[in-house]
Amino acid sequence: MTDTGADLQRIGVVGCGLMGAGITEVNARAGLDVVVVESSEGAAAAGRERLERSLQRAEDKGKLSESAADVLARISIVTDLDALADRQLVVEAIVEDEDAKVSLFKRLDTLVADPQAILASNTSSIPIMKLGVVTSRPTQVMGIHFFNPVPVLRLVELVPSLLTSPETTERARSYVEGPLGKSAIDCQDRAGFVVNALLIPFVLSAIRMFESGFASAEDIDRGLVLGAAHPQGPLALADLIGLDTVKAVAESLYEEFKEPLYAAPPLLARMVDAGLLGRKSGRGFYRY
Ligand code: NAI
């Protein structure tokens, strides 16, 4: 049988935080068998709770064609990486730390038995090449970048490195657009891919505009909502993403391209230092 994404039935996810839980949920809702690995029993319990809450909400809203319990039955949450040995695709969604991801990819390479298996990362900023070259199979290593909240947002960025085979990318595309029902776009292995490379400088410009006293936060946001039909303004969006995350992504873009448009404005750095992180801390450009 030729390898198409539809043949990917046994999925592994590493990390069951915000993104890992979402990735697990969409796979299980697509009828696929998912093994999720967390780093400790406590984190595994938190991940299970996150999944149960989200699936219960989906069931209550009538979005599931089966019960939340039926979907959960296709998910195993474990703390032993060896449980991924028989997986056909593993999606890594652990902390955004290069050393941690490099050591994980080395281990995945030794333990995932199927030589055709795809080893994918959900990283937002670490070059896929750095993960591919530490394995013996860089042709099967790529970025599959989901968006938060994963069950809601339809986009997935497919990010092959220079060494990823076209077959791997096509297999990932069939899986993302087939069983997962998402829409894929192709990106080069450069910081920010497509969406963050456009979105982050836009958000940073809004912060600079506010910082300079040019306009109020409310007026900047109202301007874009009412004048450009954005669903929310850039400062409200920054609060939603989390100002620490905005700053971290800006820094990785700046590091890669050295362009002033990616440089985090001083106000953003001060707000992060002050713990004003947006919605998650109760205060950012707005109070929550
Ligand atoms: P998070 O902090 O919510 O989750 C990370 C999880 O990984 C934690 O539950 C942690 O216990 C677990 N973990 C850490 N090291 C591990 C290991 N060695 N083995 C197994 N589990 C381990 O982080 P989040 O936001 O889910 O981000 C995960 C990845 O997704 C990052 O690479 C991030 O750049 C990327 N991403 C994040 C988005 C977002 O909006 N938060 C959007 C798209 C990608």
- List domains and CATH numbers for the chain: 5-186 (3.40.50.720), 195-280 (1.10.1040.10)
Torsion of CA 241, 127, 268, 157, to 10 degrees: -30
Q: What angle do CA 130, 135, 141 make, to 5 degrees?
A: 70
Pocket test for ligand 1, best of 50, 92, 95, 194 (most atoms within 8 A of CB): 95
Q: What percent of the chain has pLDDT over 70?
A: 98
Question: Could you say which residues of the chain have pLDDT below 70?
Answer: 1-5
Beta strand pairing call for 10-14 and 33-37? parallel
Report CA(19)–ligand 1 centroid distance (Å): 6
Under a CB-based contact definition with an 8 Å cutoff, are residues 161 and 132 in contact?
yes
pTM of the model: 0.94
Q: What is the pLDDT of residue 4?
A: 59
Q: What is the pLDDT of residue 125?
A: 87
From 157, 161, 174, 252, the catalytic residue = 157
* Atom nearest to 241 CA in ligand 1: 40
Q: What percent of the chain has pLDDT over 90?
A: 95
Report CA(216)–ligand 1 centroid distance (Å): 34
**What is the Cα–Cα distance from 121 to 131, expressed in whole angstroms?**
8
Under a CB-based contact definition with an 8 Å cutoff, are residues 156 and 194 in contact?
no
CB-defined site of ligand 1, < 6 Å: 14-20, 37-39, 43, 93-96, 100, 104, 122-124, 145-146, 148
User: Which residue lies with its CA nearest to atom 18 of ligand 1?
Assistant: 39
**What is the Cα–Cα distance from 94 to 102, expressed in whole angstroms?**
11
- Is 52 annotated in the active site? no
